[in-house]
Amino acid sequence: MLTDTPQEWRVTATTTPFTGNKTAVRTDQVVMPDGSTAARDYQVHPGSVAVLALDEAGRVLVINQYRHPVRHKLWEIPAGLLDVPGENPLHAAQRELYEEAHVRAEDWRVLVDLFPSPGGSDEAVRIFLARGVAEAEGERYEVSEEEADMEIARVPLAELVRGALAGDLHNTCMVAAVTALSAAIAADAVEGLRPAEAPWPARPFTR
């Protein structure tokens, strides 16, 4: 069984040439195995959560949102940043599902953990499977900016998998989530998914 292993090569110097509202860019001077030193630039990211919300009809809740860096409107699953260091990722995921889709869920499992761009960012993402979904009570969360233009749909899981394999759907969390769930269903392994509060070494949290 293959397992990714934590490892940290020696850093001799660090600078942060850019700091934004949510992320930053860092340059580390890293000692290579042959003793030489190389500069490595990467985005410093607080981490993210995403939710594959599956209804009783086997449909996935998806949103359509403009993403300026890639100049596309992408179909995605609800997702958001871990805004507070040490934030419980389950709580963050529940918040994002409520804010983006005004939905709650009864059953939560960890579907898959990702480093979506490990060559250029330290971002870690935890994707949850949420089942037993229903409309949330109370007023809808007031959205703004790109989120004000979001479209929400419920699409059969198999259709999303076909779209990913056809090259029509590109969002990392969407593609990873629907293919992971499809594989779990095929292997009869959904009930064996990790519990929602499973440890996450990439982003340790308070329960």
What are the CA-CA distances from residue 205 to residues 70, 98, 99 (Å)?
31, 21, 22
Other Cβ atoms within 10 Å of 25 Cβ, number: 16
Other Cβ atoms within 10 Å of 181 Cβ, number: 22
Q: Is 147 a catalytic residue?
A: yes
Catalytic choice (76, 147, 151, 197) = 147
Cα 193 versus chain centre, distance: 17
| C-beta separation of 50 from 173 below 8 A | yes
Cα 27 versus chain centre, distance: 24
What are the CA-CA distances from residue 8 to residues 3, 28, 32, 133, 201 (Å)?
16, 12, 11, 41, 14
| C-beta separation of 158 from 140 below 8 A | no
Closest-CA residue to 91 (of 128, 60, 134, 62)? 128
User: Residue 86: helix, strand or coil by DSSP?
Assistant: coil
Q: Which residues are catalytic?
A: 147
